[in-house]
Structure formats: C-alpha cells, structure tokens
Amino acid sequence: MNETSNPLAIILLINSVIIISLILNQNESKNESASTQTSSVVNPLELITWGCVLIQLVLLLINLKVVN
C-alpha cells in the first residue's frame, strides 16, 4: 500500500499543518500583545494546539502499529 494513499497518513499531514498554523498564529499574537498585556490567562488557541499535538502523537503511534 502506498503511504500517501493511507487515510491515517493524510490525517497526520492535515493535523501537522493545523499545528504549524496554530503555533505561527500564537507567535504573531503574542508579539502584538506583549506590550499591551501582562496577563497569565491561557489563550484558547494554546489549548487547541496542545490538543492537536496530543492527537498527532496518538495517531502517529497508531500509524506505526498499523504499518508494522
């Protein structure tokens, strides 16, 4: 089976792009708000990013088990 036609590999790729875009978005927003706020409130995008990273790790483990 070709790796690119594997649905799990496609989901991993999409999730990777989402994680990268969320991290870049947080980076830009943190630079913009660094001078205006000094609050310790957790950004909701940060929680979404950690959730996506956790999903990515679980899917990667599943993919490794399925391929081997």
> How far, in whole angstroms, is CA 55 from its chain's centroid?
8
At 58 the pLDDT is 93
Q: Can you tell me whether residue 15 is helix, strand or coil?
A: helix
pLDDT band at 19 (very low <50, low <70, confident <90, very high): very high
Token readout for 49 is 């990013």
At 13 the pLDDT is 92
pTM: 0.72
